[in-house]
Amino acid sequence: MKTDEVVAVSAVVNSEDKDTKVVSDLAKSSVETKPEVVAPVVVEATNNRVGIVNPKKVNPPIVVETPKTVIPTKIESNPVKLEMITGVLEIMQDGQGFVRPKFNPGYKDAVIGSMQVRKYGLRVGDMVTGVAKAPKDGEKYWGLVRIDKINGLELAAAQNRVEFKDLVPIYPIKKVSLEFDKSVASTRIIDIFCPIGFGQRGMIVSPPKAGKTTLLKEIAAGVAANYPEIHLMAVLVGERPEEVTDMQRFIKGEVIASHFDQKPEEQTRAAEIAIERAKRLVEMGKDVFMVFDSITRLARAYNLAIPTSGRTLSGGFDPAALYPSKKFFGAARKIENGGSLTIIGTALVDTGSKMDELIFEEFKGTGNMELRLERKLAERRIFPSFDILKSGTRKEELLLPAETLSRVMAMRRMFDNLEEKDQMTELIIDQMNKTDNNEDFLKKVGKR
C-alpha cells in the first residue's frame, strides 16, 4: 500500500465520525521507517472478541471511545442531632453513668463517660442538665457531650458539696403542719396526736386494706398545700400498676415507682435511685419529704436480689437483706444548720406471713414516729382507722406547744379508761367534724 492510500483511509474514517479516535499509529510508523509499505495489521473487535484480520483485507480500524468522566456526587452527611437533656444520674460499676430523664431506663438515656464523672465529682442521684447527641448507626444510647448544671447549680459550685454521711443529724425541732381541709380528719389527727417534724423517720404500721395508701396521699396533699417549697417525693416499691398511675396523677412531686411484676433487681434499683436523689438535695440544704410504700416489700425484694449469705431467719428471710433496707429508712434525718429528709414509710402486719412479721420486728425500733392502723375499725369502714393510744412521736415536746401537749396528754389519759379502746378514734373524728380546724377542736376539748 502506498502513502496516498493510507491518507485516504484516514480521511474516510474522520468523515464518518468526528468524535472518534482512529488507531493508525502502526500504519504511520511503517510509512516513516520503511520504503515499501506493508498493509497494517488492524485489530478488530466483534461481539466482544478480538481477532487478527487478513492483512490483504482492509477493514475499518477499531474505534476507541473516550470514556465518559463520571463526577462523583457529593454525599452530605446527616447533621448531628443535639438536644438539651435533664435527668437523674445513675453510675454503673464500670464507672460510666447514665442520665435518665424518667428515673427508670428509657430510650432517651444519655451515656456519660467515667472521665467526666470523676472530673466534675458527680454522684448517684445528681440531677444533670446538659447537651446530648443522638445515637449514630450502630450506637444504642445518646451521648452527653456537655454538662451545664448539676442539681441546678453551676459546675464550680456543685463541686464544693459536702457528703451526706458527714452531715450532723439531730432530733426534729420544727413541726410539719399537715392540716389543709377540715373534712380530712386523718391529717388533723396526726398533727395533734402523732406530729411529724422536718426530718422525721415515721412508720405507718398497717394490716391489709386498712387505708394506708389513701393515708399517704392525704399526707402528701397536706405537705403540698402548706409547704410548696418542700421537695415532695413518692417512692413505690412492688406496687400495683393502677396504684402507681393514681399516685402519679395525685402527687404534686416526683414519683419513682416499680411494679410488682418487675424483677427484684429492678425494684431495688428504683428505691436506691430515689434515696440517692433525696440525699443530693439534702446536701444542698433543701428539705425533702418522702412518702414510701412499703418497707416490707423493699426488704422482700432485697431478700431475692442479693446473693445468699448462707444464713436464714424465720420465714426464709436472709438477714443480709435487712442492711440495705435499713440504710434506706435510716437516711431520714434532720441536719443541724441544714436541710432535712423526712420519710414516712409503711410496714405490713397481720398478713399471715412470718417474713412480714419478722421485717416489722426488725424495723420496730428504728423510727422516731409510729402510727398504727386498726383492723377492727377498717372492717367497720371507719376511716381513718387509727389506733391512737398505740401511736405517737418520740420527743413530741420539741414539736408541740406546751399547752397543746398538756391537752393531748389529758385526752390520752381520759380515753385510756374507756372499755372499748376503738371508741376513742370514733369520738375524736366526730368532734373534729364539728369544728373548722384543730385550734377550735383543742379549745372545745379544753372547756370540758
Q: E strands within 301-439? A: 333-335, 340-348, 369-372, 392-393
Residue 47 confidence (pLDDT) above 70: no
Q: What percent of the chain has pLDDT over 70?
A: 81
240 among the known binding-site residues?
yes
Is 339 a known ligand-binding residue? no
With a cut of 50, say whether residue 23 has pLDDT above it: no
Same domain, 194 and 334: yes
161, 185, 207 - which closes a domain:
161
Rounded to whole angstroms, the Cα distance separating 435 from 444 reads 9
Query: How are the residues of the chain apportioned to helix, strand and coil, as percentages rounded to the nearest 5?
Result: 40, 25, 40
Report which of 101, 100, 83 is spatially closest to residue 91, judged by C-alpha positions: 100
Mean pLDDT lowest among 352-361, 391-400, 411-420: 411-420
Domain contains 69? no
Residue 117 is part of which domain span? Answer: 82-161
| 376 assigned binding-site residue | no
Q: What is the pLDDT of residues 307-320, one digit of tens each?
A: 888 888 877 888 89
Side chain identity, residue 434:
K
Q: Is 327 a residue whose pLDDT tops 70?
A: yes
Q: Yes or no: say if 248 and 104 are a contact pair by the CB < 8 Å rule.
A: no
- Indicate whether 60 belongs to any domain: no
Q: Can you give the CATH number for the domain in which 385 is found?
A: 3.40.50.300
Tell whether 350 and 430 lie within a shared domain: yes
pLDDT at 170: 95
390 marked as binding residue: no
211 known member of a binding site: yes
Q: Could you tell me if 152 and 191 lie in one domain?
A: no
Do 209 and 243 sit in the same domain of this protein?
Answer: yes
Is 73 domain-assigned?
A: no
Q: Confidence class of residue 60 from pLDDT cuts 50, 70 and 90?
A: low
187 and 333 part of one domain: yes
Q: pTM of the full predicted structure?
A: 0.79
- Please indicate, yes or no, whether residues 173 and 157 belong to a single structural domain of this protein: no
* 386 in the same domain as 370: yes
Domain-located, residue 37: no
Was 221 annotated as part of a binding site? no
Domain boundary at 138, 161, 184, which?
A: 161
412 annotated to a ligand binding site: no
Final residue in a domain of this structure, among 141, 161, 181: 161
155 and 174 together in one domain? no
Question: pLDDT (tens digit, 9 = 90+) per residue, 178-217?
Answer: 999 988 999 999 999 999 999 999 999 999 989 899 999 9
386 annotated binding-site participant:
no
366 marked ligand binding residue? no
- The reply to whether 53 falls in a domain is no
Per-residue pLDDT, 290: 97
Tell me: do 377 and 402 sit in the same domain: yes
Q: What is the pLDDT of residue 309?
A: 84
Mean pLDDT of 224-251: 94
Region 36-63: what's the mean pLDDT? 49
| pLDDT reading at 16 higher than 50 | no
441/378 same-domain check: yes
Residue 8 belongs to some domain of the structure? no
Q: Does the pLDDT value for residue 118 go beyond 60?
A: yes
Place of cell 420465714: 315
Residues 156 and 231 in one domain: no
Note whether 303 and 425 are same-domain residues.
Answer: yes
Q: What is the pLDDT of residue 99?
A: 93
- What pLDDT score does 424 carry? 83
Q: How many CB atoms lie within 10 A of CB 353?
A: 15
pLDDT digits (tens, 9 = 90+) for 268-283: 999 999 999 999 999 9
CATH number at residue 107: 2.40.50.140
Q: What pLDDT score was predicted for residue 62?
A: 57
Annotated ligand binding at 129? The verdict is: no
pLDDT at 395: 93
Q: Is 51 part of any known ligand binding site?
A: no
- 212 assigned ligand-binding residue: yes
201 is in an annotated binding site: yes
pLDDT at 372 over 90: yes
241 within domain boundaries: yes
More confident residue, 84 or 138: 84
Sign of CA dihedral 359, 362, 366, 370: positive
Instruction: Write down the pLDDT at residue 175.
Output: 95
Q: How many domains does the chain have?
A: 2
